[in-house]
Chain A
Amino acid sequence: MSYLTITDLQKHYDNYHALRGINLSITEGEFVVFVGPSGCGKSTLLRTIAGLESSTGGTIELDGRDITELASSKRDLAMVFQSYALYPHMTVADNLSFALRLAKVSDAEIQEKVRSVSASLQLDALLERKPKELSGGQRQRVAIGRAIVRQPKVFLFDEPLSNLDAALRVQMRLELARLHKKLGTTMIYVTHDQVEAMTLADRVVILNAGQIEQVGTPLELYRKPNSRFVAEFIGTPKMNLIPADKITHKADELVFDLFGHTIHFPAKRIKGTQPDSTIVGIRPEHLSLVEEGGDLTGRIELVEHLGSEAYAHIQLLNDQTIIVKAAARLELKDGQEVHIKVDVDEIILFDDNNKVISVIPEEA
């Protein structure tokens, strides 16, 4: 059953069409993450759901009620801002209890709620401080506390971790995941960090230029992207994309000519008509370095060592650079010639319109 339903949502700024017909349904308790490049409309979509921006078309329904025209203050949603937006003139305790006081909750109940929230976020010792006397991480926790103390229908987060340093970001990410498990409340989270998206989300919504590009679980998006945009956006390092020079159609296979090398691809994995040209997409971990033979050859340009693994940047014969994941202990020298084996099962093909035209084979 859909809890939050967005139907053909439109948003026009003066002369800019920021949301171009968004359709999305979110079930209760889901953790949904909006990702996309800068300026694609993530914040606009979130703020329109919050009611901070008015929509110019379409509807938003929450828990069976049309809230499209409802004031933000009546929507029963809580939002955590990137800048935290704590009330500077109030103590942490007052920041936490502001919404409850507005809702005329009894003093005893307020105290109890503030106490339990501040305990769970380790804010007990800070209750009497003003926001300017807190560190970035502490402010972040107050902002989150201010949202959860109200027990809203949905939490909205707009890049809440982007002002924190890397270590704290990882820690807060875990805390958020834990919080979602514990509360079970629906959460919508905006980020441009795809690692955050992949690790937190039940479902990821990929936005591009005001439209939804694809919706799916993190693994679905990784394994079965619909388009080149999604394939390139998800996964670090990026998927390698190699244009095929020529395609020869055989009985039950296609033979791609990749500047002198050939790759055989089963024809039954092509959706629709057989293509005349294609771009071959393959992720770094589906390429491997082999002693001899292999499907491609190239020269090592540089190697990035990450400790547990290494990424070799390899220049192919056509000067294109691709990235191959390699074992950390492999001895690799710059300029060395290497042979690369391609895991054909994992190849994804794109047509000229950047749509995916191949299917992943069923797992045996």
Chain B
Amino acid sequence: MTLNQQRKLKTFITGLFAWTIALILFFPIFWMFITSFKTELQAISIPPSLFFEPTLDNYSEVQERSDYVHHAINSIITSFGSTILALIIAVPAAFSMAFAPGKRTKDVLLWMLSTKMLPAVGVLVPIYMICRDYGLLDSKTALVIIFTLMNLPIVVWMLFSYFKDLPKEILEAARMDGATPWDEVVKVVLPLSMGAISSTALLSIVLCWNESFWSLTLTASDAAPLTAMIASYSSPEGLFWAKLSAASTLACAPIVVFGWFCQKQLVQGLTFGAVK
């Protein structure tokens, strides 16, 4: 085999591998999408029917039974709101830890990460009671605060690891050029970090959008986001696979479209270090 052929074979094999994984990952979404156009009967038939006459009945029924727009707005407000809040806290935190680390910075970072290891149920009762006592049950405020706390460790870590890799000399050059610490952040660090910040934000938005544990336990109807809406189709009158699929498709659609548009940012952000 010539070197060229070897290279081609290598590309082919990695390509095949990547496609296989991508298809496996995509299959459940594909299946959900297909099922949403079936009748309830077709949806549970075994073997599953691949060829059928698509129907939009499920969608109209979902629209009738629950207020999709209302839940979608709740999802948007809670996921964007908590992401913005998390960034407002995390950017300065990560900045100071990256550029002015103290003896305990490493410990603080690890401690923040360790909070993610605590199972959420562990704090369910106290948080539920706090929300109840402050009248925050079924409120978007409660969800925004919980989501923020939930994602803060991840957001801080991602930003920290990006800031840490920024060449220190660039900031020193700015300082020599007469920049105050505020100028350094606003005129140098932030513009350089737009890729990292937007991909971090995107990740946080997706995580909030798909969050169901807290949304289910803390909301009933007023503040219920899309995840809570989906859940309402799995109980209590029995399972309705087709309608559940339609509701899920509707719930996924906005974030998938959003993600599609941000793809470039995401890739850029995940392959950080594009500074030099």
| Chain B residues, Cβ within 8 Å of A77 | 176
Decide: A83 near B169, CB < 8 A? Known: A88-B275, A102-B183, A132-B276: yes
Whether B179 pairs with A102 at a CB distance below 8 angstroms is: yes
Whether B191 pairs with A99 at a CB distance below 8 angstroms is: no
Whether B178 pairs with A88 at a CB distance below 8 angstroms is: no
Decide: A87 near B178, CB < 8 A? Known: A102-B183, A132-B276: no
Whether A150 pairs with B177 at a CB distance below 8 angstroms is: yes
Whether B169 pairs with A98 at a CB distance below 8 angstroms is: no
| Chain A residues, Cβ within 8 Å of B76 | none
Decide: A81 near B192, CB < 8 A? Known: A73-B178, A88-B276, A103-B178: no
Decide: A73 near B173, CB < 8 A? Known: A83-B167, A88-B276, A132-B276: no
Please give the distance in Å from A104's CB to the nearest CB on chain B. Answer: 10
Decide: A81 near B173, CB < 8 A? Known: A88-B275, A88-B276: yes
Whether A98 pairs with B174 at a CB distance below 8 angstroms is: yes
Please give the distance in Å from B245's CB to the nearest CB on chain A. Answer: 45
Interchain CA distance A353-B122 in the complex, whole Å: 71
Interchain CA distance A98-B174 in the complex, whole Å: 8
| Chain A residues, Cβ within 8 Å of B178 | 73-74, 99, 102-103, 150
Chain A: CB-nearest residue to B192: A89
Interface residues of B in 19-53 (CB under 8 A from A): none
Interface residues of A in 63-85 (CB under 8 A from B): 71-74, 77-79, 81, 83, 85
Whether A73 pairs with B180 at a CB distance below 8 angstroms is: yes
Interchain CA distance A132-B177 in the complex, whole Å: 21
Whether A87 pairs with B188 at a CB distance below 8 angstroms is: yes
Whether A81 pairs with B172 at a CB distance below 8 angstroms is: yes
B170 within 8 A of A: yes
Interchain CA distance A72-B275 in the complex, whole Å: 24
Q: How many residues of B contact A (CB 8 A)?
A: 19
| Chain A residues, Cβ within 8 Å of B173 | 79, 81, 85-87, 146
B164 within 8 A of A: no
| Chain B residues, Cβ within 8 Å of A103 | 178
Interchain CA distance A79-B175 in the complex, whole Å: 10
Chain B: CB-nearest residue to A52: B172
User: DSSP majority for the B interface?
Assistant: helix
Interchain CA distance A150-B276 in the complex, whole Å: 25
| Chain A residues, Cβ within 8 Å of B192 | 87-89
User: 0/1 per residue, B169-212, Cβ < 8 Å to A?
Assistant: 11011111111100100011001100000000000000000000
Please give the distance in Å from B99's CB to the nearest CB on chain A. Answer: 13
| Chain B residues, Cβ within 8 Å of A4 | none
A221 within 8 A of B: no
Interchain CA distance A78-B192 in the complex, whole Å: 22
Please give the distance in Å from A228's CB to the nearest CB on chain B. Answer: 36
Q: Residue A73 contacts which of B179, B187, B275 (CB distance < 8 angstroms)?
A: B179
Whether B176 pairs with A79 at a CB distance below 8 angstroms is: yes
| Chain A residues, Cβ within 8 Å of B172 | 52, 72, 79, 81, 85
Whether A73 pairs with B175 at a CB distance below 8 angstroms is: yes
Interface residues of B in 220-252 (CB under 8 A from A): none
| Chain B residues, Cβ within 8 Å of A92 | none
Interface residues of A in 37-78 (CB under 8 A from B): 50-52, 71-74, 77-78
| Chain A residues, Cβ within 8 Å of B179 | 73, 102
Chain B: CB-nearest residue to A83: B169
Whether A50 pairs with B176 at a CB distance below 8 angstroms is: yes
Interchain CA distance A98-B276 in the complex, whole Å: 19
Chain B: CB-nearest residue to A143: B173
Please give the distance in Å from A39's CB to the nearest CB on chain B. Answer: 19
Decide: A89 near B191, CB < 8 A? Known: A81-B169, A83-B167, A102-B183: yes
Which of B176, B183, B276 lies at the interface centre, i.e. has the most chain A CB atoms within 10 A of its CB? B176
Chain B: CB-nearest residue to A81: B169
Interchain CA distance A102-B276 in the complex, whole Å: 24
Interface residues of A in 150-181 (CB under 8 A from B): 150
Please give the distance in Å from B173's CB to the nearest CB on chain A. Answer: 4
Chain B: CB-nearest residue to A149: B177
Interface residues of B in 254-276 (CB under 8 A from A): 275-276
Please give the distance in Å from B42's CB to the nearest CB on chain A. Answer: 55
Interchain CA distance A74-B169 in the complex, whole Å: 18
| Chain A residues, Cβ within 8 Å of B191 | 89
Whether A102 pairs with B170 at a CB distance below 8 angstroms is: no
Please give the distance in Å from B153's CB to the nearest CB on chain A. Answer: 28
Chain A: CB-nearest residue to B172: A52
User: 0/1 per residue, A164-207, Cβ < 8 Å to B?
Assistant: 00000000000000000000000000000000000000000000
Decide: A87 near B169, CB < 8 A? Known: A102-B179, A102-B183: no
Interchain CA distance A98-B191 in the complex, whole Å: 14
| Chain B residues, Cβ within 8 Å of A52 | 172, 175-176
Whether A85 pairs with B177 at a CB distance below 8 angstroms is: no
Residue contacts A-B, CB under 8 angstroms, 14 given: A50-B176, A52-B172, A79-B173, A85-B169, A85-B173, A87-B170, A87-B174, A88-B192, A89-B191, A98-B187, A99-B177, A99-B178, A132-B276, A146-B173
**Interface on A for B, CB 8 Å cutoff?**
50-52, 71-74, 77-79, 81, 83, 85-89, 98-99, 102-103, 132, 146, 150
Given A74-B178, A150-B178, 12 other A-B residues pairs in contact with their CB atoms under 8 A: A52-B175, A72-B172, A73-B177, A78-B176, A81-B169, A81-B172, A98-B174, A98-B177, A99-B177, A103-B178, A132-B276, A146-B173
Q: Which 10 A-B pairs have CB atoms at the shortest separation, nearest pair first?
A: A85-B169, A99-B177, A85-B173, A72-B175, A79-B176, A102-B178, A73-B178, A89-B191, A81-B169, A85-B170
